[in-house]
Chains A and B, each alone.
Chain A
Amino acid sequence: MAAALRIQGLKKSFGGLPAIADVSLDVAAGERRLIIGPNGAGKTTLFNLLNGFLRPDEGEVLIDGRNMSGERPHTICEAGIGRTFQVMRPFLRMSITDNVVVGAYVRAKTEDEARKLAADAIARVGLSDVADRVAGELSTKELRLTELARALAGQPRILLLDETLAGLGHGEADEVVAVIQQLARDGITIAIIEHTMQAMVRLVDSFVVLDHGAVITEGEPEVVTRDNRVIEAYLGKKWVAHAPH
């Protein structure tokens, strides 16, 4: 399969501190890829490099084979990368529909088309029944889904989801996971940042583990969770001895 998203030798430092030391990875079209790692591993920095908030010091980001590194965020969005954020910032006084319409104009030429794309995106995340409510009075789960719909309205081919499950209860997390699963079945390539692996093991095709700005390992969930380096990164060296081998 061709790589929808290819990252080659990406580097980014803040002052003298390398946040992304040297990251290369491919995400195949239609793949669901989870990026995990402990706090400060560089996960969000990686996303910020991918969607143009930050310029890489070195290396390339290729979207469908096209080099997009150093382009500005709106150009990268037009190229087909949608993104949600760890901290939700909806337009609080606007309805869900209007919030999502904002995300549709990157594709839509007319207002009617934007409304249609928005309604479609809202249906995909299952918020059609509450679409007229004002964002300020929504629950965390509904806000997450609104944010997801806002990114979807621009019809991205690649979605970057930054801690979409943070702050959700078990039942709620399952609902959001189900939505993401459906999106993957519809052929959207998905990269997810998540802190905890549990909910994700069932959802994704493969893991990438970041620590100190570098890829420690990648592969299938079952393999990665037994990897000593991963256990060390999360729990410290002394736990490696306790791990089942």
Chain B
Amino acid sequence: MKTALAVIVLAALLPLVAGEYYINLASQIIIFAVFAASINLLLGYGGLATLGHAAYLGVAAYLSALLFLKLHLSHALIAPLALIGTTLMACVFGLVALRATGLGFLMLTLALSQVLWGTAYRWVSVTDGDNGLRGLARPLPFGLDLNQATPFYYFTLVIGVAAIWMMARFVASPFGATLRGTRDQPRRMSALGYDVWLIRWVTFVYAGFWGAVSGLLFVYYHKYIHPVSLSLANSAEGLLAVIAGGSGTLAGPIVGAAIVLLLKNWASAYIERWNMLLGFVFVFIVVFMPEGVVPGLKRLWQRRSASKG
């Protein structure tokens, strides 16, 4: 709790010392962290590896963009509509994907998101295909102009903190405990009177909702949306961020999101083959801290303080 508060305070002070480039980078990290944290609900706490979570980010972003461009609605109306629409989609996708667990679940989530990705590419009359949708604007909540880097950063920070707090509450609740129970011992949980399928489905929908929230922030930030947001690569990047940071931990997805985006944006300015560097970093993490950076560093820290004392 203390660490979390310290991180929030430090994050709030960032615009005082950093330039616009880094403020924007920090906004992107927060958005990606919300996305990764929603994947972590399924992967880390539910034991359900998904390769289709970009669907929720992408669909919320596309819904928001389309409602803005075609129906000219206000953002105050668009945001809830996009969230409700995407969450309803998660309800239906959950019915399909949760017919299986393990690899079957992975393949079903992948298939469902690929359908959406293909649709976004080919349905040119609506999505403008490979060109993506342009001409979007950021919202003006309470008259705040979010077009500058710093106000948008604070806007993202507030929503990001609220989102991650809500997800932390979710996993710390008795429901979160039953979710971990279904991850570890699904049969025993059902014999003890728990509807394992329902617990997984509720989690799936909840994770879909927060994926949609990250999608709204994503489209506000870029003021542009392209089918690549719905792609397998985007889902996999989120999954990698969770695994690298440490699945089943609260800080893991945040650290993982920071690692991925820092490497992508910062390292690519200095090294041409930054993808290679990203690969090396992942190999390093998997070899030396297979449980992820956050639990790995914690373990090193405990070992150090134990040998000292």
- Point out residues on A near B: beta carbons under 8 Å: 51-53, 72-74, 77-78, 83, 85, 89, 91, 102-103, 105-106, 111, 150-151, 154
Contacts and interface: CB of A to CB of B under 8 A. Distances in A.
Given A91-B181, A111-B174, A105 B193 contact: yes
Contact of A105 (B188, B190, B194): B194
B178 interface: yes
A105 B177 CA distance: 12
Interface string B161-189: 00000000000001001100100110111
B71 interface: no
A103 B194 CA distance: 9
Interface residues of B, number: 16
B193 A154 contact: yes
A226 B177 CA distance: 50
A3 B195 CA distance: 27
Given A89-B185, A91-B181, A102-B177, A154 B190 contact: no
A208 to B, nearest CB: 22
Contacts, number: 48
Contact of A154 (B177, B188, B192): B192
Contacts of B177: 102
Contacts of B184: 91
* A51, A74, A103: most-surrounded residue (chain B CB, <10 A): A74
B178 A102 contact: yes
A103 B192 contact: yes
Interface of B: 174, 177-178, 181, 184-185, 187-196
Contacts of B196: 74
Majority secondary structure of chain B interface residues (helix, strand, loop or mixed): helix
Contacts of B194: 74, 105-106
Given A72-B190, A74-B192, A89-B185, 16 more contacts: A53-B191, A72-B195, A73-B190, A74-B190, A74-B193, A74-B195, A77-B191, A85-B188, A85-B191, A102-B181, A102-B192, A105-B174, A105-B193, A105-B194, A106-B192, A150-B192
B234 to A, nearest CB: 34
20 contacts: A51-B191, A53-B187, A53-B190, A72-B195, A73-B187, A73-B190, A74-B196, A77-B192, A78-B193, A83-B191, A85-B191, A89-B188, A91-B181, A91-B184, A102-B178, A102-B192, A103-B193, A111-B174, A150-B192, A154-B193
B21 to A, nearest CB: 44
Contacts of B192: 74, 77, 102-103, 106, 150-151, 154
Contacts of B174: 105, 111
Contacts of A73: 187, 190-191
B191 A106 contact: no
Contacts of A83: 191
4 closest Cβ contacts across the A-B interface?
A106-B193, A77-B193, A73-B190, A74-B195
Contacts of A72: 190, 195
Nearest to A78: B193
B174 to A, nearest CB: 6
Most buried by A among B191, B194, B195, B196: B191
Contacts of B193: 74, 77-78, 103, 105-106, 154
A116 to B, nearest CB: 15
A151 B189 CA distance: 11
Contacts of A74: 190, 192-196
A165 B264 CA distance: 58
Contacts of A105: 174, 178, 193-194
Contacts of A106: 192-194
Q: Which interface residue of A51, A91, A150, A151 has the most chain B CB atoms within 10 A?
A: A91
A236 B188 CA distance: 36
Contacts of A154: 192-193
B301 to A, nearest CB: 20
A53 B187 CA distance: 8
B140 to A, nearest CB: 43
Contacts of A102: 177-178, 181, 189, 192
B46 to A, nearest CB: 16
Nearest to A79: B193
B53 to A, nearest CB: 28
B41 to A, nearest CB: 19
A106 B196 CA distance: 13
